[in-house]
Each structure stands twice: as structure tokens, then as C-alpha cells.
A and B are shown apart, each in its own frame.
Chain A
Amino acid sequence: MTTTPPPSRRAGLRFGSRPAGSSAPSAADRSVEPRPAGLRKRWLVAGVFAVLVALVAGVSLGPVSLPAGSVAAELLNLIPGVHLDSGLSEREIAIVTELRLPRVVLGLLVGGLLALAGGCYQGVFRNPLADPYLLGVAAGAGLAVTAAIALGGAGRQGAISGLPMTIPLAAFVGSLLAVTMTYVLGAAGGRSSSPAMLILAGVAVSAFLSAGQTYLLQRHSDSIQPVYSWLLGRLATAGWHDVLLVLPYAALTAVVVLLHRRELDVLAVGDDEARSLGLHPQRTRYLLIAAASLGTAAAVSATGLIGFVGIIVPHTVRLLAGSSYRAILPLSLLFGGAFLALTDVVARTVAAPSEVPIGVVTALLGGPFFVIVLRTARRVLT
């Protein structure tokens, strides 16, 4: 009874219309078993390569230009047990390890986090425009950090490098409140609420929270200067302290989000169907929103508001490596990091000796890119 019977005649007639070129599957076809979508090795290698290029470029380029080969050798020296002669002077080695390397590493971390969070929000909300900024998450984190600096006096000494440990936590609370507000507002239309509703809600929440931030700054004008320079997005003052501050949150976010990459593919068919496939979509959604918001909060508290990374990177990855979150999420982490570290190189060399705020550079790139995404996403949004 379980042997294959010939398909019924009707079925054979109508469904027999196979796609062109595959009417007779050859032996070679069958031996190359089709694989499910996922992270292909060549893309993983490309991602790691991009990170390494960004690392070496980010460390070599600057007011004192260092040869890339020497920089690579000096970076390898950081691996325990490796001793290479890089030919760099004591002072140059200090530039590499104490000034530039932490800045590049922070750029890699923050870029990776923002891109990962963007990709994660896009999957969780089934919305191609979801991004830490458009959802108001970053604004929530920004308001919370501003409040911590203005009311808590964290930045009174001028610079806010050497952020206290409480800043990322405040940012996390702020970002969670913001994403909850956006979610509730965006779902106000009930079952008929569209992806565009969510983004409009995010824009409204962002505006509301930014107004709160402006008000706080007006009332506490002594903190305007540090907050303002932080707001524009900066990697300039990054030292190892900032890296260590972000690292645990980055690791937690990356682990939680990457572990759920397959579930995000299942969520793409909708909550009802995900449920009938045995998942708990709402539970997964809350967990992933929290994880992505934690990552955003850590990124924002370390480097201020750097927009559009969460849109540019996941969408580019999607175009290149396929629409499965199994590929999008790990590659967004890698390419997001490389993208921001390289953008930082542009930001600090294009108008040297002064630096362009990195948030300005990403916005200049991201604005036009957003229009492209909007055009391709039109079908989903209407």
C-alpha cells in the first residue's frame, strides 16, 4: 500500500508542467542533492574576510599612516604564542594597540549588533523596514542615556568616555519601553494592522521620545555638550573600557538571536501556522525583541545614534545570500561590523584632520538606500 502508484491521469496532465529545463532530471541532478537554504561556506568566508580587511584597514589608516603588512603582523602578535617582527616603533605599536585597535573593535561590535538587531526585528515583525531606529528603540535608549547623564551627572566632567556600567542598563530599559510602545501602538489596528502601521508608530514614538530628550537637555544645559557629541554618533573616544562595556551584551544578544535563526524562518509563515507546526511564536517574539533591544541599547550607549546600519546591511545580505534568516543573521553580524569599521575609516579620513561624525556618514549612505528598500518592499507594505 505504500509503494508509489502512478499519479492519477488528471494529476499527470495538469501538474506535469515542470519548469523549463528540468523536465527530465538527469543522473547528475539527482546526485547533487538539493540543500535547504542556509549559510553557505563561501559567504561565511567572505564575511570573515571582510572583518579582517576592516580590521587591518581601520588600524593602518589615520593621521599616522602605518603599512598594512606591519599592522597585520602586530595584530597577529596579540595572539598568545605568536611573535612576529612588525618593524613598528614602540610609539607606533602603542597607536595600534591602545588608540586604533579598540576603536576598530568597537566599530566591529556596534556595527555587527546594529545589523543583527535590524535583521532580527525584520524577521520578528515580518517587516522589511523594521530597524532599531525606525522602531524608536534607539530613541528610547537615547532618552534613557540622556536622562542618566543629565540627572545622574554621569557626564559632568565633560567627556563621557569611561561610561559607568549603569548606562547600558538604563539604555536597555529605555529601548524596551520604546519598542513596547511601538508594538502596542502599531498593533492598535488589531488584525488589520499593516507593516506600515508599525513603522508609523515607530516614527511617532521616536518623535515623542526625542522631544523628551530635547526637553531634558534644555533643563540641564550643562550636559548639552557631552550629550550632543555623543548623539551624533562617535567612535572617536573609544578605549578598551568601552569595548569591555559592550562585549557582554553583544555576546548575549548574538548568542540568543543566532540560536533562533531557524525559528525566524518558520515565523515567516505567520503565527497561526508556526503554532500549528509546534512553535510558540509569541514567546519567541518577546525573547528576540528583548535580545535585539539589548544589543541596540549596548550599541547606543557606547557610540550614540548611528542610523541605517540595521537597514543597509541585512537587506544587502538578503539580496546576495538569500532570504533565509539562517544566512541573514550571522552574515549581518559579520558584514555589519565590517561596514561600520570601514565607514569609520571614511569618517575620520575624508575631512582630515577633523572627523566627520560617523552617524552622518551612515545616514548619507542610508538615506538613498532606504528609498531602494522602500521601492522593493512596496508590495509587502500595501
Chain B
Amino acid sequence: MSREPAGPSAGLPSAGLPFGGGDGGVPAVEVRGLHVDLGGTPILTGVDLTVAVGEWVTVIGPNGAGKSTLLRAVGGLLPAPGAITLFGTASTALRRRDRARVVATVAQSPVVPPGMSVLDYVLLGRTPYIPTLGRESTADLDAVHEVLGRLDLTGFHRRELATLSGGERQRVFLARALAQGATLLLLDEPTSALDIGHQQEVLELVDQLRREHGLTVLATMHDLSLAGEYADRMVMLAAGKVVAAGTPSEVLTEHLLATHYRASVRVVPGTHGPLVVPVRPRAHL
């Protein structure tokens, strides 16, 4: 079985040269006219989305808008013939293993296998590099140790994943995604299980990794203020359609949030992006 050469740093892509070219012209993700039906119900109807290499784009939208479905389609978990291009290559043309080396997903609430140690869990991220029916090489282990060190998890490698706190677990989930060596990170509600301090920490960490390794981030988030603080651009989905896209201050407006979330909010300018503050509707005063 032939193996791709994988140096000790195979776990982390070097900055500035992602899969398919770093010339800046080819977007990391390009979605054109994406339609997804689940069990006969249309979930996404004609979604367009472009994420440039190195960019952080956050998808927001009310419950049931299709955010997670969009992320699943980009991650190759739902059939989307012809609609999705990753780093210039049609997603359907990629074999599953090859796609796994380009796209890493952190699910909303990943399964925590009972009894599995942090080391073994992060090692799962090397699966796309391990030959089918084969076993991991020392290069795979080196990559895992490098990622564990990078995420300040070295002391945790023997710990059972199930015994870690929410913030620690979230970092282990990120570590697995990084060990995959992918340059596109899909984060589905990465902070939904965390308190406000840990939410900021995880997002700071993602941003730091993004800058250091030239990663591209496509995330979904519910906390709008937090989403606006970290995203370069935002896309608002409602009922399976893109209803707004642009910088956080263009998307997070009182009018758009009232229309699509049926929310009563004040939008206050902040340092990095607008801050969304919920207020009680006038009728109840």
C-alpha cells in the first residue's frame, strides 16, 4: 500500500499554501444554487456562498433555517451534485478520503466514545492518511503530538475524553480536526456547550490557529454578538435562503433581525463588530 509522504509536521498545514493553490484567486468554498431536500422537505433552496482562502465566514439564522444542513453539504455529508467547489475542485470529484484531507468538521455535539483517551481520539483525525485496514505510522503519531502540544493538551493525552470539562473537550475536538491536516475548518455551533469565558477562549484559539496556519473557517453560530466579533463576513439564512450577506455590521441590523428572527433587539456598535442586545418588545411594557 502506498503512503503519501508525511513529515513530522504533517498534522498542520503550513500557512499560505492550502490545497489547490494559494494564489488568492480560487476561493476555498464556492456554493452555487445549492438545493437540499431531506425526506421530501426542501431545507435549502438555491443557496450561494463564497468563502475566500483564509477568511472566516459565519452563517447565522433562526432555528431551522438550514445552517447545519449547509455545513453538512459543504462537508460532503449530503449529496449536492454540481453545487459545491472546494479550492477549485468540484466536491463530488473528490474521493471521501481526499476530501477529509481538505475539510475538517467539528460537529455541534460530537460523540464522546466511552473509554477513549485524548490521544486516541485526536489520532482518529489521521484516519485519511492511514491506509485502509492498516495502522498509523510514527509520522501520524508525531503529527498528533505536535497538535496536542500546540493546543496545550500535552498533559491530557492519557485522560479519558469523557472525564474532561466542556472547554477542554472542545479543544480536543479542535485538535482532532487540526490533526486531519485540513485547511478548511467547518465548525457547527462550536461554542454552544460552553460558558461565556470558554466561548471566547475557543474562538480566540480558532482565530489564532487560522492566522498561524492560513486556515479557512466556515462556522454556524447562535450568539450573534460573538459571531460578529470573530467573523470577517456573515451570511444570514432564513427558510433555506440567503437573506443577507456581508460584513457583520451589514448583516447584524435591527431591521434584518426583526424580520427574520422576529427578535426585538438593539444593535450597539462595538470594537470588533456590532453588539446585539435583546430588549423586551414594547407591547409587554
Contact = CB atoms under 8 A, between A and B. Distances in A.
Interface of A: 1-2, 4-5, 7-8, 10-12, 14-16, 18-19, 22-23, 25, 33-34, 36-37, 259-260, 262-263, 265-266, 268-270, 272-273, 275-280, 318, 322-324, 380
Contact of A37 (B75, B120, B156): B120
Contacts of A12: 152
Given A2-B12, A8-B208, A36 B119 contact: yes
A16 B158 contact: no
A11 B152 contact: yes
A36 B199 CA distance: 30
B156 A276 contact: no
Given A10-B204, A276-B103, A278-B99, A18 B212 contact: no
Contacts of B16: 1
16 contacts: A1-B14, A2-B15, A14-B201, A15-B168, A23-B155, A37-B116, A37-B117, A37-B120, A259-B133, A266-B124, A276-B75, A276-B77, A277-B125, A279-B127, A280-B96, A322-B115
B167 A15 contact: yes
Nearest to B165: A17
A14 B77 contact: no
Interface in B107-147: 107, 110-111, 113-117, 119-121, 123-125, 127-128, 130, 133-136, 141, 145
A284 to B, nearest CB: 10
Contacts of B255: none
B105 interface: yes
Contacts of A5: 208, 212
Given A262-B134, A275-B77, A276-B76, 14 more contacts: A5-B208, A19-B156, A25-B155, A33-B141, A36-B141, A262-B135, A266-B127, A268-B111, A270-B111, A275-B76, A276-B105, A277-B124, A318-B115, A323-B114
Contacts of B99: 278
A14 B198 contact: yes
A277 B127 contact: yes
A37 B200 CA distance: 33
A260 B167 contact: no
B67 interface: no
A272 B99 CA distance: 14
A366 to B, nearest CB: 22
A36 B125 CA distance: 13
B205 interface: yes
Contacts of A322: 115
Contacts of B259: none
B219 interface: no
Given A1-B212, A11-B204, A269-B113, A36 B123 contact: yes
Contacts of B116: 37, 265, 268, 323-324
A37 to B, nearest CB: 5
Contacts of A34: 119, 157-158
A323 B115 contact: yes
Given A11-B204, A19-B155, A276-B77, A269 B124 contact: yes
A34 B113 CA distance: 20
Contact of B100 (A1, A23, A268, A277): A277
B63 interface: no
